Structure 1
Amino acid sequence: MYCVITVLLATACGGSGDGSAAVEPRAVGPAKGSVTWYAINFGPEGLPQKLIDAFEDKHPGITVEYQPAPNNTDTMRATLTTEISGGSSAIDIYNGDIVWPAQFGDASLAMPLDAHLPDDYWDRFPEERARTTEYNGEHLAAPLYSDAGFLYYRKDLLEKHDLPVPKTWEELAETAAKLQDAGDVRYGYVGQWANYEGLTVNWTEMSAAAGGRTVSADGERPAIDSDTNARVLGFMRDMIKDGVAPSATTSFQEPQSLQTFLEGDAAFHRNWAHGLGESDNPEVSHVVGKVGMSPLPSFEGTDGPGPSASGGWNMMVNPHSDALGASLAFLEWMTGPDAQRILAENGVIPALDEVLNDRGLQQDNPALAAAADVPVVSRPSDTPRYPQVSHGVYTNLNGALAGSVTPREALGAASDEIRRALNGRAL
């Protein structure tokens, strides 16, 4: 039984929060009526509606309208900020990026959930995945699905030249150059190095693989301007100077870099878990059956594979919603086993522990097993000023990759901008 359905029992479902957006458990209303769900389209075409149909079949008193959001997360965040801060109830529940809880919690744009869900609700998720939904001791979001970054490679070309899958970034650059020199591919490596959030993701992974950080462990000061990070950023710039990565990669986001790889123009590619399914889709890929997937590389002198940045999306509730009871029922079902299994069967990495580790599902989708084992590093998003922190990272690093400033100058400028953001003085 859902705690949100039996409203009179809702006070037993968890402790109440102190946030200004808190809604008393008894005030959520009945789990019936219409809900508007605002989300970026995810998974294969039609997956959101498939989930809605399955939910409505189990909850005939609730109807859900899916409202597609812009694919650019910054645009989506701006839209939600404007709508919800203005008191609008047009959107009841929405998908939120994994890095949003602190920002949205600080601005009262998401309803704290602990008072409205069972006490053991968070036990269904991996500990770190549940932790990323917290701000000031409150869960501001519920994990919907996870994601991880992987290295995609042309296994046919490695086999042709009897070359191993690279374990380090240095080895990847050398192997890529060999494949380019042999005339097998135009480019050696493509990632997401454009002037946007994706570069912060790529940077977080590569910096951590060398032992670097962007923000100190206590979250109070910048740590990006270090010798370790200068080595990493210099290596990235050299990949472009040496022709291993195309100069256009400084404008590549996920779609452009993936398309380059799917067309057979690159030997190695970093992307999220959906890249495997796209690589084997004959409707969009010229490299079907020729692609392998592995953890990201480390750097020489470090142990183990490189980490993936934490990825994925949550579900968050508009505190101004007129259908809180129905929204909470939808949220709990979407993060439960039925919906999570539908996600997994459609190539999306579920957030629910029991589904993520289902052996049968892992056999059908190797990305599930890989995601369950890959080491993870979080972006420095525990601060409400994370958008400003990330902006300081990707704008300055993109300038260094494009060659307009030196790596050390870029790291110094990024450090200054991060410091201002952490001190609450960023624009």
Structure 2
Amino acid sequence: MNGRAARRAGSLLRVLAVLPLLAACRRAPEPVPGRTVLRLLAGPDVGGALASNIVRFHEYYPDIRVEVVEGPAESDRLEARGSESFAARDGAFDVLYTDVAWIPHFAARGWLRPLDGWFTRRMQSKFLPGDIAGSRYGGKIYRVPNQSDAGLLYYRKDLLDAAGLRPPRTWGELVAQAQRLQRPPELWGLAFQGKAYEGLVCDFLELAWGNGGGMLDPRSQVIVDAPAAIEALSWLVDAVRVQRIAPESVLDFQEEEARKLFGDGRAVFMRNWPYAWNLLQRERSPVKGLVGIAPMVHGEGRRKSAAVLGGWGYSISAFTEEPEAAWKFVQFMATAESQKVGYEKGGILPTRKVLFNDPQVIAKSPHYRVLYDVLSAARPRPMHPEYPRLSAILQVHLGAALAGKKSPEEALKAAAAEMRAALASPSP
């Protein structure tokens, strides 16, 4: 970028502070006397909801200007960007749009400002309980949830209706229905996230929780090698290798590969996130109007399904020099009005309960009635500062079991040993 272009870019950013600021190649604008400037680190503004809400915020608070530093779309890369700044204690960002999975890691290191003095229990009660639970660490709250997410079971409503079937509730029911309706390779029974990455951990946790197991117990002891977890992984492995209701290619599936198989009309069931709904209902979608959603299936003899909580929210840096202004911004962005803008422009799933009863929202998205029940029961992944390391270990061994390189028991016993060693020597 030459000097003239840089000056032009700097001038533009002073006028339009809502445009993404690429810190790597543009200089921050000079502060305007008497005006507070906040810098927000966030991923790409899909649909323009963030920009629209910042314009609204500036109308309410003309003495505060928000500059958006646009980071990468990938959660792990965006987290790395924030971690780098926090570790340097450079105060580069006042507010961050945080993934629920980051909270334990950031809060344990003192990088986030507790919000309890502003974000009262009464205010918190207006939000989905799982999203609030995922915003807490060590008895304090560090995030105002803005965008919810949870794992779902998608199914071909037309195929189940024609066969006189109701959506499955247990592992056994799903297998029986998938085997009855599938016609591989044209139509498979089940699509899920089978690649060895965080998505596979989420799929596994939902099955393990729905069978009375999990990753860590309330005392942070590793329990992935307990019988309930081994049964969960065995069911997932058998779906590919024994019942053959999922294709071998599922070992390379992330969310989009699973959605494509299901969206092309080539799977009866799919585990995925709510984002897939709108894509499946597009005008040219082969399955438009033919899809239903339900809670993920649970183990035999169990009564409750489980869903892994995802989602994003606003956190305030512990190093900001403008905490009061930052709170005004965070509070504004999480209002029902702002979340409705996010829903309308970006298809963002709200965290405020009231929007799931909003007539305009329900008219456009009637599936929100079922979605509300799933989200209300969603659980965050283990709120432990070492979770990223534990997940990375588990990913490797889950992938080995799905690939047939280890039995489910061997894989989880090996994972448990490595996870216990990791907890015994926490990262700095």
TM-score between both structures, scaled by the size of structure 2: 0.84
Q: Tell me the matched-pair count.
A: 393
Q: Which of 166, 170, 173 is the aligned partner of 1:171?
A: 173
Return closer, same or farther for 1:281/1:64 CA change in 2, 3 Å cut-off: farther
Contact map agreement 1:210 1:298 (CA 8 A) in 2? yes
Moved more, 367-376 or 165-174: 367-376
Question: In structure 1, what is the Cα distance between the partners aligned to 2:343 and 2:55?
Answer: 17
1:296-311 equivalences under 5 Å are 296-304=296-304, 306-311=305-310
Question: In structure 1, what is the Cα distance between the partners aligned to 2:248 and 2:203?
Answer: 16
Q: Which of 30, 39, 43 is the aligned partner of 2:42?
A: 39
1:234 aligned partner: 234
TM-superposed CA distance for 1:61, in Å, is 2.8
Deviation string for 1:201-255 (max 9, x for gaps)? 1111111112222212322x11111222222211111111143112222222222
Question: In structure 1, what is the Cα distance between the partners aligned to 2:235 and 2:54?
Answer: 46
Moved more, 373-382 or 149-158: 373-382
AA at the equivalent of 2:222: P
Return closer, same or farther for 1:274/1:248 CA change in 2, 3 Å cut-off: same
AA at the equivalent of 2:216: V
Question: In structure 2, what is the Cα distance between the partners aligned to 1:412 and 1:312?
Answer: 30
Return closer, same or farther for 1:217/1:138 CA change in 2, 3 Å cut-off: closer
Q: 3-state SS of the aligned residue for 2:225? A: coil
1:249-264 equivalences under 5 Å are 249-264=250-265
TM-superposed CA distance for 1:401, in Å, is 0.8
Deviation string for 1:406-425 (max 9, x for gaps)? 11111101111221233334
1:6 aligned partner: none
Return closer, same or farther for 1:165/1:184 CA change in 2, 3 Å cut-off: farther
Return closer, same or farther for 1:120/1:234 CA change in 2, 3 Å cut-off: closer
Question: In structure 1, what is the Cα distance between the partners aligned to 2:134 and 2:426?
Answer: 25
Contact map agreement 1:187 1:266 (CA 8 A) in 2? yes
2:368 aligned partner: 368
Gaps (5+ residues) in structure 1?
1-29
2:6 aligned partner: none
Gaps (5+ residues) in structure 2?
1-32
The alignment status of 1:335 with 2:338, answered yes or no, reads: no
Q: 3-state SS of the aligned residue for 1:329? A: helix
Q: 3-state SS of the aligned residue for 2:37? A: strand
TM-superposed CA distance for 1:291, in Å, is 1.1
Contact map agreement 2:134 2:380 (CA 8 A) in 1? no
TM-superposed CA distance for 1:168, in Å, is 1.8
1:386 aligned partner: 387
RMSD, aligned CA: 2.6
Question: In structure 2, what is the Cα distance between the partners aligned to 1:54 and 1:185?
Answer: 49
Q: Which runs of 4+ in 1 moved over 6 A?
A: none
Q: 3-state SS of the aligned residue for 1:115? A: coil
Return closer, same or farther for 1:192/1:119 CA change in 2, 3 Å cut-off: closer
Contact map agreement 1:41 1:48 (CA 8 A) in 2? no
TM-superposed CA distance for 1:81, in Å, is 0.7
2:204 aligned partner: 203
Contact map agreement 1:344 1:355 (CA 8 A) in 2? no
1:223 aligned partner: 223
Contact map agreement 1:264 1:286 (CA 8 A) in 2? yes
TM-score between both structures, scaled by the size of structure 1: 0.84
Return closer, same or farther for 1:68/1:195 CA change in 2, 3 Å cut-off: farther
TM-superposed CA distance for 1:386, in Å, is 1.1
Question: In structure 2, what is the Cα distance between the partners aligned to 1:149 and 1:158?
Answer: 21
% same residue = 28
1:44-63 equivalences under 5 Å are 45-63=47-65
2:354 aligned partner: 354
Question: In structure 2, what is the Cα distance between the partners aligned to 1:351 and 1:379?
Answer: 14
Q: Which of 153, 156, 177 is the aligned partner of 1:154?
A: 156
Contact map agreement 2:193 2:251 (CA 8 A) in 1? yes
Question: In structure 2, what is the Cα distance between the partners aligned to 1:402 and 1:379?
Answer: 27
Deviation string for 1:252-284 (max 9, x for gaps)? 22222212222222221111112211110126x
Question: In structure 1, what is the Cα distance between the partners aligned to 2:252 and 2:111?
Answer: 32
Question: In structure 1, what is the Cα distance between the partners aligned to 2:286 and 2:60?
Answer: 41
Question: In structure 1, what is the Cα distance between the partners aligned to 2:296 and 2:223?
Answer: 23
TM-superposed CA distance for 1:136, in Å, is 2.1
TM-superposed CA distance for 1:400, in Å, is 0.6
2:27 aligned partner: none
2:187 aligned partner: 186
Return closer, same or farther for 1:160/1:121 CA change in 2, 3 Å cut-off: closer
2:294 aligned partner: 294
Question: In structure 2, what is the Cα distance between the partners aligned to 1:186 and 1:156?
Answer: 14
Question: In structure 2, what is the Cα distance between the partners aligned to 1:400 and 1:379?
Answer: 24
Question: In structure 2, what is the Cα distance between the partners aligned to 1:227 and 1:348?
Answer: 38
The alignment status of 1:396 with 2:381, answered yes or no, reads: no
Return closer, same or farther for 1:127/1:189 CA change in 2, 3 Å cut-off: closer
Contact map agreement 1:315 1:331 (CA 8 A) in 2? yes
